[in-house]
Amino acid sequence: MKHSLYLSFALGASWLLSPESLVIAGNVAGQMGWMALPALASIALLFSLCGKLLNSPQVTNTGDKEQLILQNMIGTIPATGISLAAVIPLLVLAATALLVTSGYTFNEVFLYWFPNFGFSFLLLALLTILQFFSDKIIFRAQICFISIAAGGLLLLSLYGLAGTDIPFSQLFKQPGSFSSSSTAILLLLFVGSSATSFSTEKRPPSLLLPVAGFILFSCWIFVSLAYVNPERLASSTIPYMTAARKIMGDPGRQIMGLVVISGTCAAITGLMLICRRTLCDIAGTASKTFVFSKKLHWGFPSFIAIITGILMATGLAGKELLEVILRGALILWLLRHILLCLAAVIQIKKQSHTIPVRGAICTSILITAFFILIFSNPHRVEMFSFLISMLGISGFLATIWFLISRNIKAGNPVNFQQMEKNE
């Protein structure tokens, strides 16, 4: 695609501008006060250095580089299992949570008479249909979703900065406290920032997304603290809507409603694209394997939509368990990012016989944050159970996948493609 820079940003920012990210930013701002700003700056710098590490000329540079990096370090089956555990649970759980959030937002902000779950299922259907169009159309839609979400959040932030009566210096005189667990949670805003495999650039810009994310969220955190009591931000389940109403009144709620719905569309579309690309990278050449035959390629979005619809219909979105396992899915995505950085450090060391110090330090920080996220969670038992079960199931599926692919490559008589033609 010609606009590879914008596309890389739109894919990387898909989770950054989701409603769940707005909740994380608002709650952490309430817990840490103005200290959330330097914490956010440190995390943006951390992911910028990680992006630079992964895009180093000494690291494997192919279309499926991320999967190859993992395979070279831990082997084909473990790498496949980690990738499956990182992308599929997050796609399904995020879609379930975000669609229900958008449904309630549409009902409360725009049309009170429209059923909230009706809008959730309608949006799910529309986003699923979008996946059946060409990649070019999907990419343009993704850029449109991201533009609306980012533009609305920036508009509210600038309006709030211009309209506040509180001097900037006064905000930094308010109490602020550092928290390692809250800082680690902020890491989850940027876990999707490494979606560089869609870019046609030889060296995708690793600084663009973290820097843009820092600027946008630092402005939003600042105005949120200026207009809303920190205790309320920390305890609210919709801190973004509370801040928007305080900043601009009812028009602010409507703008934030557009941000929430567009952010949901961007998150689901971006995660779907990243998930499909990851699965294609795992398969190598998708058109030569049964698993990625044309029928199943078209059926994958429908399969995800059915699973998401079932989870919404069973009422999972209204339970605290969804928040716990969604956080676990994000931690699994972070785990894959950590392994990628660790593998890149090892690969660079083998080629240049020197350890990339900055890359090694960043990887160590990510590993520390990974354990903080797990052990500081009040639902750590449920979290452990989810992580272990997802890794176990993904490992089993990866083994089956490997055996099928090996049989096909070896010319096994069970020819699934021929079976497909016979149908």
Domain map of the chain by residue range? 4-409
- Are 377 and 386 in contact by the 8 Å Cβ rule? The answer is no
Quick one: average pLDDT of 353-366?
A: 87
Q: What is the mean pLDDT of residues 175-188?
A: 83
List pLDDT tens digits, range 294-336: 555 678 888 999 999 999 988 887 788 888 899 999 999 999 9
Sequence-distant (≥ 6) Cβ neighbours of residue 227 within 8 angstroms: 160, 164, 243, 246, 247
Residue 110's nearest CA partner among 123, 97, 129 is 123
Do residues 124 and 305 make contact, with C-beta atoms less than 8 angstroms apart? yes
Residue 95: burial class (beta carbons within 10 Å; 0-12, 13-18, 19+) = buried
> Of residues 119 and 352, which shows the higher confidence score?
119
Mark 228-261 as b/e (b = at least 16 C-beta within 10 Å): bebeebbebebbbbbbbbbbbeeebbebbbbbbb
Higher pLDDT, 20 or 290: 20
The stretch 182-202 carries a mean pLDDT of 67
Q: How confident is the model at residue 168 (pLDDT cuts 50, 70, 90)?
A: low
Determine how many CB atoms are found less than 10 A away from the CB of residue 211: 16
Q: CB-side exposure of 3: number of CA atoms within 13 Å? A: 11
Confidence tier at 285 by pLDDT (50, 70, 90): very low
Provide the pLDDT for residue 196. 46
- pLDDT reported for residue 203: 44
Contacts of 271 (CB under 8 A, 6+ apart): 14, 15, 87, 90, 91, 94, 95, 192
Residue type, 207: L
pLDDT at 410: 55
Per-residue model confidence (pLDDT) at position 295: 53
Q: For position 199, what pLDDT does the model report?
A: 46
- Beta carbons within 10 angstroms of residue 279's beta carbon: 21
Poorest-pLDDT segment among 135-139, 183-187, 341-345, 350-354? 350-354
Using alpha carbons, select from 327, 197, 339 the residue that is nearest to residue 275.
197
For range 329-354, the mean pLDDT = 88
Q: For 321-327, which contacts have Cβ atoms below 8 Å and span 24 or more sequence positions? A: 321/382, 322/93, 322/96, 322/97, 323/97, 324/377, 324/379, 324/382, 324/383, 324/386, 325/89, 325/93, 325/382, 325/383, 325/386, 326/20, 326/90, 326/93, 326/94, 326/97, 327/188, 327/373, 327/377, 327/383
Please name the residues in contact with 284: beta carbons below 8 A apart, sequence gap of 6 or more.
Answer: 64, 405
Residues in the chain: 423
Nearest-angstrom CA–CA distance, 185 and 180: 9
Average pLDDT over residues 235-262: 92
Kindly tell me if the per-residue pLDDT of 260 is higher than 90.
Answer: yes
pLDDT tens, residue by residue, 385-396: 999 999 999 989
Asked if pLDDT for residue 163 goes beyond 80, the answer is: no
Highest CATH level, class, for 4-409: mainly alpha
User: Which residue type, as a one-letter code, is found at position 306?
Assistant: I
- The whole-chain average pLDDT of the chain stands at 82
Confidence of residue 21 (pLDDT cuts 50, 70, 90): very high
What is the mean predicted confidence (pLDDT) over 386-409? 82
Name the percent of the chain lying above pLDDT 90. 35
Reduced to 3 states (helix: H, G, I; strand: E, B; else coil), residue 74 is helix
Q: Where are the alpha helices (DSSP H) in 33-115?
A: 36-54, 65-74, 76-109
* pLDDT value of position 41: 92
Helix (H) or strand (E) holding 372: helix 357-375
Q: For residue 303, give both structure tokens.
A: 């399969």
